[in-house]
Amino acid sequence: MRMTATPETPAPAAASYEPTDRTVPSRSRARARYDRETVHAILDQGYVCHLGFVRDGAPVVLPTLYGRIGETLYLHGSTGSRPLLAAGRTDPGLPVCVTVTHVDGLVLARSAFHHSLNYRSVVVHGTARQVTGEEELRRALDALVDQVVPGRSADSRPASAKELAATAVVRLDLAEVSAKVRTGGPNDDPEDLGLPYWSGVVPVAPAYGMPVPAADLAAGIAAPAYLAEL
Amino acid sequence: MRMTATPETPAPAAASYEPTDRTVPSRSRARARYDRETVHAILDQGYVCHLGFVRDGAPVVLPTLYGRIGETLYLHGSTGSRPLLAAGRTDPGLPVCVTVTHVDGLVLARSAFHHSLNYRSVVVHGTARQVTGEEELRRALDALVDQVVPGRSADSRPASAKELAATAVVRLDLAEVSAKVRTGGPNDDPEDLGLPYWSGVVPVAPAYGMPVPAADLAAGIAAPAYLAEL
């Protein structure tokens, strides 16, 4: 559902994003990935990104929600930053860097030096522009909600025109994009293999608890089935 | 243990960080926190931060490991970015923004508009400088390892002089710092309370799986007790 291409974002022909100077890492190049399948899968598994922009010459990094529709990321702009909201309103838009990271495991080596994490991350460079059209804004808001809980936008009251007008969303094309992936066990030096320290990986993943109904939830409204899919 | 002040970072007298122009949000001010206790607790619960800096005038955001000792954050500099490593090597250092975010719950309102997250985040603005002294580098590396798995640095082979020389770590003082915290249930509009949509919070937290021993782990080395504390 999230992979549906919209008229504004036709599905591209190339299977991979073109690497650029700033998407080729200077270290751990073997961990870099540019194929859309890997990038989309990493993005689709999350809903919180870290949005970076420049304010008065200095970097700012704020967490915010995102949703993906085809080759477009929609970012919730109510991050508490006036410059972000203002700058995205007019051309030429706001240069941003958006990063999404999942931690999959703690990698414990025999040596302190070789400790590491298993992780998957995506970094997107580009220009954010505020979404102003009501139709695109509505689709974007649905994408933001469904990114957190797939299926939820259809099971809630749609935004009113007034609410849409109060919703700050910026769009960012997926064009200059890279992923980094580390998997597997520790890479201990051969001479350390006999040391008496435990070595291996502790898996990590987000876990969802039992849904807690709102205090004012009317009797008889059960938790929806799609929450069990999380 | 992580709260031990080092000679370089004496414990400050003030209980809170001084708010500045860039640590006072323009929205959701009621969620802002400046007390050290809240900030330290959020930092100490994590080990991955998103590090932002400016390269050729554009923002860059990369995930990396951090460790806290008193009022200093140590960041692992092997993020695959040449400019980060180079800029941190000499004065005046590199302006950075470091953000740590924990998601605690998915907040489902009756209206799409009022969907939200429960979260805790910390944003640090400052100047990163490379750590060069061997003693501080060793403490920093221990802090990075212990941030991920408390107690682990004492149960692994310490870094050799050669490994220390190959470890890129930058330090960042905790001075211009703020936290944001959202807790509680959905804030639905009164007129929406009768709508037939489930409303409430789905708790989220990282979950750790059973440790997976390295394929070459010698027989008889059991997973250490501190892993059970995770």
Q: Is A145 on the interface with B (CB under 8 A)?
A: yes
Task: State the smallest CA–CA distance between residue B110 and chain A in angstroms.
Answer: 5
Split at pLDDT 50, 70, 90, the class of B83 is low
Nearest CA in chain B to A151: B112
Q: What DSSP character marks residue B153?
A: G
Say what the pLDDT of residue B7 is. Answer: 47
Mutate to test the interface with A, among B23, B61, B216 (most CBs of A within 10 A): B61
**C-alpha span between A178 and A216 (Å, rounded):** 44
Encoding tokens for residue B195? 């709508």
Whether residue A81 has pLDDT greater than 70: no
Q: What is the count of residue pairs from A and B with beta carbons less than 8 Å apart?
A: 305
Kindly report whether the peptide bond that precedes residue A92 is cis, defined as omega within 30 degrees of 0.
yes
Mean pLDDT of B205-229: 95
With beta carbons less than 8 A apart as the criterion, state whether B50 and A119 touch. Answer: no
The three-class DSSP label of residue A198 is coil
Task: State the smallest CA–CA distance between residue A12 and chain B in angstroms.
Answer: 25
The three-class DSSP label of residue A178 is strand
With beta carbons less than 8 A apart as the criterion, state whether B91 and A153 touch. Answer: no
In order of their start, the domains of chain A are 21-229 (2.30.110.10)
Mean pLDDT of A207-212: 97
Q: What torsion do the CA atoms of B6, B11, B17, B18 make, to the nearest 10 degrees?
A: -110
Q: Which of A97, A156, A230 sits opposite B202 (nearest CB)?
A: A230
A79 vs B201: CB contact, 8 Å cut-off?
A: no
A121 vs B22: CB contact, 8 Å cut-off?
A: no
The partner residues of A66 in beta bridges, in order of sequence, read A75
Split at pLDDT 50, 70, 90, the class of A167 is confident
With beta carbons less than 8 A apart as the criterion, state whether A198 and B222 touch. Answer: yes
Mean pLDDT of A141-161: 96
Q: What is the residue type of A182? A: R
The tens digit of pLDDT for each residue in B21-69 reads 889 877 778 899 999 999 999 999 999 999 999 999 999 999 999 999 9
Task: State the smallest CA–CA distance between residue B225 and chain A in angstroms.
Answer: 11
With beta carbons less than 8 A apart as the criterion, state whether A73 and A67 touch. Answer: yes
A167 vs B203: CB contact, 8 Å cut-off?
A: no
Name every chain A residue with its beta carbon within 8 A of the beta carbon of B142. 112
The three-class DSSP label of residue B129 is strand
Whether residue B80 has pLDDT greater than 70: no
Encoding tokens for residue B205? 């937290």
Question: Which residues make Cβ contacts (< 8 Å) with residue A97, sequence separation at least 6?
Answer: A51, A52, A53, A123, A124, A125, B52, B58, B59, B60, B61
**C-alpha span between B107 and B118 (Å, rounded):** 7
A218 vs B101: CB contact, 8 Å cut-off?
A: no
B206 vs A209: CB contact, 8 Å cut-off?
A: no
Mean pLDDT of A53-61: 94
Nearest CA in chain A to B81: A26
Q: Which of A22, A156, A211 sits opposite B200 (nearest CB)?
A: A211
Split at pLDDT 50, 70, 90, the class of A16 is very high
In a 10 Å sphere around its CB, with 0-12 CB exposed, 13-18 middle and 19+ buried, how is residue A158 labelled?
Answer: middle
B227 vs A53: CB contact, 8 Å cut-off?
A: no
- Chain A, 8-67: which have a CB under 8 Å from a chain B CB? 22, 25-28, 48, 50-55, 57-63, 65
Nearest CA in chain A to B211: A202
- How much is the mean pLDDT over chain A? 90
Mutate to test the interface with A, among B113, B125, B153, B182 (most CBs of A within 10 A): B113
* ipTM greater than cut 0.90: yes
The tens digit of pLDDT for each residue in B135-152 reads 999 999 999 999 999 999
Split at pLDDT 50, 70, 90, the class of A2 is very low
Split at pLDDT 50, 70, 90, the class of A201 is very high
Q: Which of B54, B113, B200 sits opposite A59 (nearest CB)?
A: B54
Question: A132-141, long-range: CB within 8 Å, 24+ apart, which pairs?
Answer: A134/A161, A134/A164, A136/A8, A136/A171, A137/A164, A137/A167, A137/A169, A138/A164, A139/A6, A139/A69, A140/A67, A140/A69, A140/A74, A140/A169, A140/A171, A141/A167, A141/A169, A141/B112, A141/B113
Mean pLDDT of A137-163: 96
Instruction: Please state which of the ranges A131-135, A156-160, B5-9, B63-67 shows the lowest mean pLDDT.
Output: B5-9
With beta carbons less than 8 A apart as the criterion, state whether B116 and A80 touch. Answer: no
